[in-house]
Amino acid sequence: MNFPKQSNRVHLNIDSYSTMMNFAKEHSHKEIIGVFFGKINENGDIEISEAYPFRVGRRTEVHLKDSDYEKVLPIIKDCSTRNLEWLGWFHSHPFKRGDHLYMSQTDVSYQYPAQIQNPYWTAIVCNPHQIKDSSTTRGMRAFRLSINSDDSKITKKVIEVPLKIE
Ligand SMILES: [Zn+2]
């Protein structure tokens, strides 16, 4: 199994950025969740090219439900015909004032088992109220859990992965 390096980045095409952020903007007071697909580059960067909005949650909580996993199966099949694989999930922290782009303990508990299956599995957190925050990538940040260099075990330590929109 290959593992991403600390220097690896997440590249997001403008279409998938717009799909995620427009969904978050439409529900700017509720958390939204969705999934994205793309490719792992030879250098270990990932390129996200398609995003799929899934669900609107409550104000401070959103989860994927069993019916969402059923919904994602035909998308996985369809994307595989374009050599795209399921590389992660996005959700919003739609709060005003301050920096809300981080991984909560609940987020980590979702990310952990998925990243054990695929070390490149990535979480994108977005906030429509932080689009102009220059410490973010137009209102988004990407995260993974750190991988222990000795034994390649996934830890529960959150690391930010540089995110580029292009
Ligand atoms: Zn969250």
Distance 141 CA to ligand 1 centre (A): 12
Distance 63 CA to ligand 1 centre (A): 9
Distance 107 CA to ligand 1 centre (A): 5
pLDDT over 90 percentage in the chain: 84
Question: In this predicted structure, what is the pLDDT of residue 1?
Answer: 78
Distance 74 CA to ligand 1 centre (A): 26
Question: In this predicted structure, what is the pLDDT of residue 85?
Answer: 96
Mean pLDDT of the 99-116 span: 94
pLDDT over 70 percentage in the chain: 96
Distance 100 CA to ligand 1 centre (A): 9
Distance 81 CA to ligand 1 centre (A): 31
Question: In this predicted structure, what is the pLDDT of residue 114?
Answer: 92
Question: What ranges do the domains of the chain cover?
Answer: 10-165
**The token pair that represents 6 in the structure block:** 């600390």
Distance 35 CA to ligand 1 centre (A): 14
Give 10-165's CATH code, choosing from 3.40.140.10, 2.60.40.10, 3.40.50.11690, 3.40.50.150: 3.40.140.10
Q: Indicate the residue type of 127.
A: N
Query: Has residue 132 got a pLDDT over 80?
Result: yes
Mean pLDDT of the 100-107 span: 95
- Strands of the 163-165 sheet, one edge to the other: 154-161, 140-147, 122-126, 85-92, 32-40, 46-56, 10-12, 163-165
Helix/strand/coil percentages in the chain, nearest 5? 25, 35, 40
pLDDT in tens, 38-95: 999 999 999 999 999 988 887 666 667 778 788 889 999 999 999 999 999 999 999 9
Q: Largest Cα–Cα distance of the chain, in whole Å?
A: 44
Q: Look up residue 42 and give its DSSP letter.
A: T
Distance 108 CA to ligand 1 centre (A): 9
Question: In this predicted structure, what is the pLDDT of residue 68?
Answer: 79
Question: In this predicted structure, what is the pLDDT of residue 62?
Answer: 64
Distance 94 CA to ligand 1 centre (A): 10
Distance 88 CA to ligand 1 centre (A): 14
Question: In this predicted structure, what is the pLDDT of residue 70?
Answer: 84
